[in-house]
Structure 1
């Protein structure tokens, strides 16, 4: 007694249905085996993590597509009737699976249009992070920011439906010329030698950021072929502004998106060390004077305080 006779005897399933079930299981097993074999070959030949990820996803999508096609040919008497079959169920699927279909369309948009790729740092809605996975129905971010300062990782991952790319703006830190502008504001007192302070800040900033200018210029040239991006200058600059409690010196410079905090850390430490060497430079901060009796208040008014 073969398998088909045993199934028919115990389950009462028609022979034709039994054959289709058996052929479907065999097809799934063969395709799964071929997929695993192909992945082993790919992982053995390719060492780059990003390339491995792309190949793994490509093999997964192709295997799913082939599985659907093979099983469809098994269960539909004639392959040309497949279009008719899809036409009959398309309306019901569109109503019942509206969100998954939109997410699948979003996945196709991401794959073809490439608003972002795996490894890019992006922000969408209130979520920001590094793209670590893109699948047919959702993409995954390694979250940054939130309660953590300066765009560092929170340790959480965020799954975002692919359909959001049609309704929400996406901010990409890496497209363009792969650098971002960062600013650090240093406020010194009015009594300080603010010009000397500005010279010190300029030297510190150039020391830590000037090496990025040349590479940024090359990347900007490449980006201008795709986007209308234009900057008159990419060199670091310091802007001067008077605030209520002192002179604000704002350093503006280029940095890599994932090194914003480390760059700030290095610059601030050197600023603190350099300012300590000069008695005529002091940090400014808002202050408030409180008078405990009328005599002190009148005396301060007379003195012009």
Structure 2
């Protein structure tokens, strides 16, 4: 893992150096052209000289902006350890560069800024009606950055889509789908789900990977007969869950309590270890459930291991644990 990260970092640094070198060469070429135009070393019609000078100066400014953005990325953004923060800053920097370049291009095309503003105002009025959804999605992107309902790497559910966020662009979000109609549990389906960022302004977002508490409560349930040894069932289920989760759940529950203590929510009883509950089932059986905290991305594998261990131990005592039997089971 460490060697792979080092190689990626070295490759990225070489890429930054190459781009900065290309910008320096391009800037020198443009400076030479500017020198030729300003000294009138090349005979040109007078009406062509001012626009050519504006274009050359504008191109030089664009190259300087691109070089500065590349330098900021190499020296600051790429050194941030948090991948989600690094990704968002890259997007913001890209947007700032785009806006600055757009302003420079406008100044290159229009010598009169009043005419440019009037033209842009008319264009903006037309585009405002034609691009209402993209504009709303762009506002949604700003909302995602400011309020952080999710970040790259989070597992979320919005509308009918559930998955891991792999990309957040200015207009849409891409999920690596989890679950869905083709697979069960929390296994990736292999499909990509895209939705406009405007959806976060009107739909509830369920985030399973909240930065302060990236865990969820999960349960495993068995149906057993009334004459089963409930104390034995509780002991087996709880011990299996504790062996699987270890001390990790205790630390998670303490974090959960600390978060609740800083909110107006009334204090609730949250056990630091897996809890076994019994409920009466409508089909004349008892539901035996064990509840525990787990990383949502590992929930499927943890549940599978617990089911295997619990069933093996419960089936060793058929006289003490009676499961439903019948042709339909």
| TM superposition score normalised by structure 2 | 0.73
Between 133-142 and 232-241, report the one with greater CA deviation: 232-241
The separation in 2 between residues aligned to 1:38 and 1:61, in whole angstroms, is 14
Does the aligned pair in 2 maintain the 1:42–1:55 contact within 8 Å? Answer: no
Residues 108/288 of structure 1: CA separation in 2 closer, same or farther (3 Å cut): same
Q: Structure 1 residues 45, 232: CA separation in 2 closer, same or farther (over 3 Å shift)? A: closer
CA distance 1:266–1:56, change in 2 (3 Å): same
Q: Is the 8 A contact 1:138 1:160 kept in 2?
A: yes
Q: State how 1:83-232 maps to structure 2 within 5 Å.
A: 83-146=117-180, 147-175=182-210, 177-209=213-245, 211=247, 212-222=249-259, 225=262, 228=265, 230-232=267-269
State the structure with more CA Rg. Answer: 1
SS across alignment from 2:250 = helix
Does the Cα contact within 8 Å between 2:215 and 2:293 map onto a contact in 1? yes
Contact 2:233–2:321, Cα closer than 8 Å, also in 1: no
Unpaired segments ≥5 residues, structure 1? 290-305
Equivalenced residue count is 285
Q: Which residue of 1 aligns with 2:312?
A: 273
Gap runs ≥5 in structure 2: 1-32
Equivalent position to 1:56, from 90, 98, 105: 90
Partner of 1:74: 108
Do the aligned residues in 2 keep the contact of 1:220 with 1:229 (CA within 8 Å)? no
Q: What SS does the aligned partner of 2:87 have?
A: helix
User: Deviation of residue 142 (structure 1)?
Assistant: 1.7
Give the TM-score normalised by the residue count of structure 1.
Answer: 0.78
Q: Is the 8 A contact 2:224 2:285 kept in 1?
A: yes
Q: Mark the CA change 1:222 to 1:192 in structure 2 (over 3 Å): closer, same or farther.
A: closer
Could you say if the C-alpha distance between residues 89 and 246 of structure 1 is closer, same or farther in structure 2, counting changes exceeding 3 Å? same
Structure-2 change in CA distance of 1:49 and 1:142 (3 Å): same
2:9 counterpart residue number? none
Structure 2 CA distance for partners of 1:283 and 1:94, relative to 1, 3 Å:
farther
